[in-house]
Chains A and B, each alone.
Chain A
């Protein structure tokens, strides 16, 4: 690229022009790209491709037409030699040149060892990105750094100046027709680079993080290093800084963690001159002359008015500081910063306008601040610019302020202030008017309508950033409050003459000034006090509910609730001193061994003062309730499973009938699955089905397993077989085989599951009997209802002898579900043969035993027979009965043959037909009930089914890497959640509930106790879920709290994309920090939250969230994190927090808020 420059002068003139144009165009393109990158990210990475290409483009421009020969630049083809050459005359170049030499002189091998100046990137970065956290470990030196000096100059923000120097002295270094020497291109080149030179190039990163933002760990680490303070930053910093917003405190704020440096200020300043999302540019005019203090002649500059939400600012920037200023030789520009004007209109009391009458000479405006100090005069050129400026100013003041008198007066003949229109002027009496030849002066008072007072009075104080003074720190040295008060005080003085400096009677005017000052001082003090009071009252009304009125003192509670203490409190088995328990837990947590005993108290399951007997009773009742409830939903679960399976079967049938000829897929399994899908597409209630293979397997294996271990209690063999049952069973078994073949490893799990179900059913025995009686009556009354039959049967199983019951429960449920279809069929057929429920029960049990004896596979065959049979002659149950017997016998022979058989298409077809014959299976939703003796509505089944599938998906994924849940305990989790959902079907399962149950289960290792405690826990937590309103309340409380307790952080959050919606705290609140902390910490945090309700605050989670934020506040601030950064940071920090210190901080935050509220 560089060699092309040497041949540049050989081109024809036109070619050369074209070439230059191309060069400059490429620079433009790269600059644009870079600037865009800077807009979308917070900073541009040093190694970014756009930086490199920009450097390349600049290099190309610089080497074009370079007088290498004359300058003796032979040794290199790059322009580095040029830099060294220029260094003699240009300080910037000298600086860069030195840097380059430093780097080049350093042996690359040594670089990695030295941490400071020898590496190329980190030292530079340390200098420039003043508010970034520096690293100790810089990136390893780049093997080859292309365009090194241009790069460095860009990072150091000196490139534009060097180029500028080259351009102004082009004749010395360049051919006459070179790009740099070209009057147009040269200046364009240098001005193009001003923008990129204003950017911050990325902060130091390790090689792994070149492209992504550093990991949270890295940030924490860096912060630890840079702050040189291993303790959490919050410990050394007073958080209680709400007073800042009331009194002038910008210095304090700015020294907090922002080390403001000139380079940043300059950059921000230049950027602030442009319109952006937060600042509206109301007025802009270049070449306005100003006579700064200590300067003998007027200087041209850029005058502008900027409006932000809080303030109106008038800025004037000398041309020397503006982009592209090339007229004078490069000198030290920094001195010009002193001349720049930056006037906050809030602080301005008077605007003086001077104009020579009769000549349209423009005019002069002088701002007079509330302290009486005049700002340098601003001279407007002719052409109505002053009028335009003033009207813009007035617009900017609206709606809360205005110029007095208004520019466009409502009284008199209209316009007061039409400068260009001569002669028609009417001045206020207070304005001095002299004769034609003398200057005319106008004085306007800047009146603030006291909007701040209204503003403070409303509770909106929490919602906006008005109370934050620091945001305006660059533009104003005083805070809103003070300016606020002063402007209000001025508006009190309406009756005073407007022009104190003009007066016929000097004594009078001095007296006037004195009285004005006195009033000002008094009123300022008054308004300051008033604002403070209002602020506090707002705080109180809003936040008083967040802490308890009286916070239990800590004294002696640091140790927490130890075993000894608990034993002493629990001496006679009765714990009556609840206050002491709460206090100890709040300040020190519970010793792990006794959590199981203490938590039920904390959660409200046991009441304090209860006797051991009472508690025992309570537990028993809870267990009984839990088991009953579980029995109910287990029955429904079986129905749901069955329905799922029917759909599958239906689908399979459809598949085989459809694809009998087509055979589109290779594997049988595949085909099945696809067809199934198609069917679901057509099926209305596929919502429930959701047949993830796991579910299907699970469902089907339950019965299968049970069947395989028959208890043989009722071993009577009656001949009256039951069609429906058989039918179903066959169906089921067929599926079972299939699944079992595919996933044999699932079986053991199911066994455990079954075992539990068995227990439950045993315990339900008594329950079952009662219900059964009911059922029986029902059944006898209505011979038609197969549904009833099955319902009754279920109960029988529950009550019958302990040995059999388990088997039967499951088996029956399984049958229940099947009966949906069959029951319906029976309904249609109106079979009168079933005389009594009892008969049927007998038959069923017997049949089951048979089935258990024979292998499941054998049933396939039965089924075929049966189904074909039923399909063809669906009338006579007697025949069917016989068939069943036949089949049973037949089974034993066929058993072996069928064992490995995959469902044959024939069978599927038959099955499908049978189902089709049933018409709409939906009507079968009048399905057999179990223990509650009723009929489940279709809706209920669907609803529960849907929840069931969701629960299963989440339970499987819940903390499976935690030791406790490595085994069948996940099933316990599932049971607890299902029971809860069964009792709260209106709420339904929502993601996150698993996480809330898990810690309870780990502690109690007891389903019913966990369930009861979970119910208590959910009383509060359910409000956080999407159906409740607590989450929004948390967010808004967080907003208020952080404004009060750490307004600096609030300002940052507000300024960086405004994430004061606090969505990043969502998971914290939803799960009570369960996902943020490791298990041990979850325990200790949860119990503190529970105890806090009675000792300090029922919204302790808020303070925990605040404590988490505060713990990392300095990192958040120093990295100027936006919403995404914060989300990423906290997600990455999950389970890495120092919980003990967070808890401690949270407790101290509660105290702080209480102190504020009490106004001590």
Chain B
């Protein structure tokens, strides 16, 4: 079955303020780290072309404001997301704790078709820092509990694991596409073969 593929993947990055969402996005897209980013207000996005399974897709990565009060604005931005990236700061336990509420909030606001299997990815950022406070084990445990969310330890500053993490994000988002398609059969599968066999000539005239 030829899977319906779409070449634009919308990825939303969520997480507490100053966990490094903007930095991760920029490190991935522009391969740059800057310590000059300001707190994100509203939303911004960057796009990047990635090749996943020999297919070129455009990733549209949305960076959002970290303060939960601004989530009311989220609906406009979350809609149509293909993947959600939850980011926390491994040196700040609270940012890890809040992943739960970020995840829930996202599911409420974006209301994806299949919330159970909606692809999330968790990134534990700032692993380059010394004073780590959330152990890998702990983060992994949480991810396992939540339907086996893939977990990556990244450093936007050093560029550690960022590329790999986003590749996985793209892959999972695409896989989700295929799966969703299996669930609801789109009516747009025009059987060209059938046409040809049954009434090949009429195919030209039928405009309806």
Which A residues contact B (CB, under 8 angstroms)? 25, 28-29, 32-33, 36-37, 40-41, 48-49, 183-184, 187-188, 191-192, 211-213, 273, 284-287, 302, 319, 322-326, 667, 669-670, 673-674, 676-678, 680-681, 686-687, 689-693, 742, 950, 953-954, 957-961, 990-992, 994-995, 1025-1027, 1061, 1063-1064, 1066-1067, 1070-1071, 1075, 1124, 1127-1128, 1131
Contact = CB atoms under 8 A, between A and B. Distances in A.
Contact of B133 (A191, A691, A991): A691
A187 B91 contact: no
Contacts of A677: 93, 96, 133-135, 138
26 contacts: A28-B192, A29-B2, A49-B55, A183-B200, A188-B196, A188-B203, A211-B56, A212-B49, A324-B205, A674-B133, A674-B135, A686-B94, A690-B92, A690-B94, A692-B91, A953-B17, A954-B17, A957-B38, A957-B39, A961-B36, A990-B69, A990-B70, A991-B67, A995-B38, A1124-B45, A1127-B45
A45 B187 CA distance: 27
Nearest to B10: A1124
Contacts of A992: 39, 41
A184 B39 contact: no
A662 to B, nearest CB: 13
Interface stretch (B58-66, B102-110, B112-120, B161-169): B58-66
A530 B60 CA distance: 48
A693 B8 contact: no
A680 B93 contact: yes
A690 B135 CA distance: 16
Interface in B83-131: 89, 91-94, 96-97, 129-131
B46 to A, nearest CB: 8
A25 B196 CA distance: 11
Nearest to B192: A28
B204 A191 contact: yes
Nearest to B56: A49
Contacts of A322: 207
B179 interface: no
A284 B132 CA distance: 66
Given A673-B132, A681-B93, A191 B203 contact: yes
Contacts of B69: 990-991, 1025-1027
B47 A213 contact: yes
Which of A324, A326, A692, A1071 has the most chain B CB atoms inside 10 A of its CB? A692
Nearest to B22: A957
Contacts of B73: 1026, 1063, 1066
A1061 B67 contact: no
Nearest to B71: A1026
> Which interface class (under 10, 10 to 19, 20 to 34, 35 or more) fits B?
35 or more
A213 B47 CA distance: 9
B204 to A, nearest CB: 4
B184 interface: no
Given A36-B7, A212-B49, A1026-B70, A686 B38 contact: no
A213 B45 CA distance: 12
A692 B20 CA distance: 13
A508 to B, nearest CB: 46
A995 B65 CA distance: 14
A interface secondary structure, majority: helix
A1026 B97 CA distance: 23
A957 B37 contact: yes
B91 A693 contact: yes
Nearest to A1068: B42
A1131 B41 contact: no
B4 interface: yes
B208 A285 contact: yes
Given A326-B204, A691-B92, A1067-B41, 11 more contacts: A33-B5, A37-B7, A48-B56, A287-B205, A674-B132, A676-B93, A691-B93, A692-B91, A950-B17, A953-B39, A1063-B42
Contact of A36 (B4, B49, B134, B207): B4
Contacts of A953: 17-18, 39
| The 9 A-B residue pairs with the shortest CB-CB distance in the complex, in nearest-first order | A211-B49, A324-B204, A1067-B42, A693-B131, A1066-B42, A677-B93, A953-B18, A673-B133, A184-B200
B140 to A, nearest CB: 13
B32 interface: no
Given A673-B91, A961-B36, A1026-B69, A286 B135 contact: no
B48 interface: yes
A1055 B152 CA distance: 40
A286 B206 CA distance: 7
Contacts of A33: 5
Contact of B41 (A187, A676, A1071): A1071
Contact of B8 (A29, A40, A302): A40
Given A991-B39, A1071-B41, A1124-B45, A188 B200 contact: yes
Interface in B125-156: 129-135, 138
Contacts of A959: 38
Contacts of B65: 991
Nearest to B193: A25
Contacts of A188: 192, 196, 200, 203
A324 B91 contact: no
Contact of A1075 (B38, B48, B131, B134): B38
Contact of B204 (A187, A302, A1124): A187
A194 to B, nearest CB: 10
Nearest to A322: B207
Contacts of A681: 93, 97, 138
Contacts of B135: 674, 677
Given A36-B7, A669-B130, A286 B200 contact: no
A1134 to B, nearest CB: 9
A909 B131 CA distance: 20
Contacts of A1066: 41-42, 73
A284 B207 CA distance: 8
A1025 B73 CA distance: 11
B43 interface: yes
Nearest to B34: A961
B178 to A, nearest CB: 14
Contacts of A1124: 45, 60
A960 B132 contact: no
A36 B4 CA distance: 8
B80 to A, nearest CB: 10
Interface in B182-201: 192-193, 196, 200-201
Contacts of A954: 17-18, 39
A211 B58 contact: yes
Contacts of A674: 132-135, 138
Contacts of B52: none
Nearest to B135: A674
Nearest to B70: A1026
Nearest to B60: A1124
A191 B205 CA distance: 11
Contacts of A1128: 44-45
B76 A1061 contact: yes
A958 B41 CA distance: 12
B127 to A, nearest CB: 12
Contacts of B48: 211-212
Contacts of A689: 94
Given A323-B207, A681-B93, A693 B192 contact: no
A715 B16 CA distance: 48
Contacts of A326: 204
Contacts of B39: 953-954, 957-958, 991-992, 994
Which of A37, A687, A742 has the most chain B CB atoms inside 10 A of its CB? A37
A957 B131 contact: no
A1141 to B, nearest CB: 24
A765 to B, nearest CB: 37
Contacts of A678: 138
A692 B36 CA distance: 19
Nearest to B18: A953
B181 to A, nearest CB: 12
A1075 B41 CA distance: 9
